[in-house]
Amino acid sequence: MWLSGDHHIHTKYSSDGRYEIIEQVRAAERSGLGFCVITDHGGPSHQKVVTAVAYRELLEARRACPGIIVFQGLEWNIPSAEHGSIIVPPTHDEAQIIEQFESRFDAKSRKDPPLGEPDAVAGVSFLQSLPSRPLFFANHPARRGLDSPHELRAWSDAGPDVMRGFEGAPGHSASTLMGELRGHYADKSSAGSFPGYPTESYRTFGGYDYYTAEVGGLWDSLLSEGRPFYITCNSDSHRYLGDLVEVDRSTYKRDGFVTPLGTQRPYRDGETRYDFDYPPGLYTSTRVFAKSRDPIEVLAAMRAGNMYTCLGGLIESLRFFVHDGTQAVPMGGFLQLTKPGATVELIVDIELSEQRNLGGLIPALHHFDLIVGEVGPPVAHRDTLRSPSAKILRRVLPSDCERSGRRLRFRQRFRNVSRSFFVRVRGTNTSVVSPQLDPPDIDPWSDLWFYGNPIFVMQKR
Ligand SMILES: [Zn+2]
Ligand SMILES: [Zn+2]
């Protein structure tokens, strides 16, 4: 069954948050999400509450909202890198696991000497060693250029069952509606940034992170090594657009939470605004195909990459699989061929949207791209950030598809397959060949994309 979810949500237990846990959970449920993860920022203040008051409230939210799965999580300050979502399986000690992990491996837990790259790798190894393994996805990976290619590879190697990808599209989706850059990607390279990233990588493209949006870029480079490395997208919801409630942030350091004051104050002209988010699930969604509505199955499906990402309700659904006549493999999977010269068929099923989105339009899919790349041995140079073989194989228009009502089906055959490759799909309501660097004033509801996760077709050598 398909469940939409969001693994990156903040509450008043973040210094820059604002809402009660149950408010965010209810908002996620109203948006139709089937699961959500509470990921407040790590650090000493958060450690004061994570096993105590915040956890009690998370348990209460679970009881009050049985229609949605609520995971305990953390937004990890990765030592010498960006942020990451940690998603913990529901066990009796889920909050203790977060507290333990955070106190040892969160960059804010120790200043002198600061934690570094080896500590990040040790943190991932710790997660990998747990009996109920959490998941780790790197958040807003290109925002500040801090996640270098070799770090992503090191995390993936240290936690092969834990580190399974990054956010393909960041949250903060309402930012351009109040004068900030899309996804709140407004940085440039700084001391800790990887020098190989180009200037434009610090901006979004069609709402997506550069590592995902660039064909033949970093994501494809990781896939070209046959890494099970998948994308998600999330709200990173801190404060909803138009929410003017004043918040006393001075209580955070002492108590581990900020205090909403109940009073409202309009923003002054020129004042920096912070209401650049939508409630979870309202604009971004990660749609996961789980065997059942069970938290363990949801995590298993995310770990397997059987999921796709979608902005602004661009499409109703995507089904994407390959088969060789005897076995079929969905998104995220590996089709192992046993003989050379096999024929493999790719099938893309898309159900078009019929609902008006919040931007006032019924999104119309203009086209989708099939993207392929060769899969070979691990790269020799760990900071490799390109995959030269990755390319758009074909741009497909709705008129190229078999059509039945709102359902499109497209088939692509790969004959005489002699080498391993990956294939993925992305689509948009715009006519551009590639997603463009987002201008400051772009209406997020006008420029919509979906990205599927890859399927690997593996040929014996
Ligand atoms: Zn973050
Ligand atoms: Zn965040």
Alpha carbon distance 9, 236 (integer Å): 5
Q: Residue 47 contacts by C-beta under 8 Å, 6 or more apart in sequence?
A: 99, 102, 103, 109, 256
Q: Separation of 442 CA from ligand 1 center, angstroms?
A: 22
Select the more confidently predicted residue: 281 or 273.
281
Nearest ligand, measured from the Cα of 16? 2
What tokens appear for 304 in the block? 């397997």
- For the segment 255-282, the average pLDDT, to the nearest whole number, is 88
The count of other CB atoms within 10 Å of the CB of residue 317 is: 16
Q: Separation of 89 CA from ligand 2 center, angstroms?
A: 20
Strand order in the sheet with 342-352: 328-330, 315-323, 342-352, 407-417, 402-404
The torsion angle over the Cα atoms of residues 285, 225, 428 and 166, rounded to 10 degrees, is 30
Alpha carbon distance 427, 445 (integer Å): 15
pLDDT at 456 over 80: yes
pLDDT in tens, 36-90: 999 999 999 999 999 999 999 999 999 999 999 999 999 999 999 999 999 999 9
**Fold match between 2-288 and 315-458?**
no
The model's confidence at residue 262, banded by pLDDT at 50, 70 and 90, is: confident
Nearest ligand, measured from the Cα of 235? 2
Nearest ligand, measured from the Cα of 10? 2
Nearest ligand, measured from the Cα of 139? 1
Q: Residue 434 contacts by C-beta under 8 Å, 6 or more apart in sequence?
A: 205, 213, 215
Q: Which of 260, 231, 267, 256 is nearest to 246 (CA)?
A: 260
Q: Separation of 75 CA from ligand 1 center, angstroms?
A: 7
Alpha carbon distance 284, 444 (integer Å): 11
Q: Separation of 399 CA from ligand 1 center, angstroms?
A: 40
- For the segment 106-124, the average pLDDT, to the nearest whole number, is 96
Q: Which residues pair with 404 in a beta bridge?
A: 407
What tokens appear for 183 in the block? 């996804």
Task: Note the pLDDT of residue 340.
Answer: 85
The model's confidence at residue 428, banded by pLDDT at 50, 70 and 90, is: very high
Alpha carbon distance 258, 163 (integer Å): 31
Q: Separation of 391 CA from ligand 2 center, angstroms?
A: 32
Q: Separation of 139 CA from ligand 1 center, angstroms?
A: 6
Q: Separation of 146 CA from ligand 2 center, angstroms?
A: 15
Domain boundaries, the chain: 2-288, 315-458
What's the Rg (C-alpha) of the chain?
A: 21
Scan for tokens 């300050």, then name that residue: 77
pLDDT at 1 over 90: yes
201 with 210: CB under 8 angstroms?
yes
The model's confidence at residue 137, banded by pLDDT at 50, 70 and 90, is: very high
324 with 344: CB under 8 angstroms?
yes
Identity of residue 131: P
Nearest ligand, measured from the Cα of 84? 1
- For the segment 248-256, the average pLDDT, to the nearest whole number, is 95
Lowest mean pLDDT among 32-46, 263-277, 418-432: 263-277
3-state SS, residue 105:
helix
Task: Note the pLDDT of residue 20.
Answer: 98
CATH 2.60.40 fits 315-458, yes or no: yes
Nearest ligand, measured from the Cα of 14? 2
- For the segment 201-230, the average pLDDT, to the nearest whole number, is 98
pLDDT at 273 over 80: no
Task: Note the pLDDT of residue 270.
Answer: 77
Q: Separation of 266 CA from ligand 1 center, angstroms?
A: 26
Q: Which of 155, 120, 446 is nearest to 313 (CA)?
A: 446
Q: Which of 368, 351, 340, 370 is nearest to 454 (CA)?
A: 370
What tokens appear for 176 in the block? 């351009």
- Classify domain 2-288 by CATH number: 3.20.20
Scan for tokens 């109203």, then name that residue: 30
Q: Which residues pair with 264 in a beta bridge?
A: 245
The torsion angle over the Cα atoms of residues 296, 301, 303 and 309, rounded to 10 degrees, is -130
Q: How far is residue 180 CA from its own chain's centroid? A: 21
What tokens appear for 261 in the block? 């004051």
Alpha carbon distance 57, 256 (integer Å): 14
The model's confidence at residue 328, banded by pLDDT at 50, 70 and 90, is: very high
**Exposed e or buried b per residue across 325-357, where buried means at least 16 C-beta atoms within 10 angstroms of its C-beta:** eeeebbbbbbbebeeeebebebebebebbeeeb
Alpha carbon distance 223, 18 (integer Å): 38
pLDDT at 272 over 80: no
pLDDT at 265 over 90: no
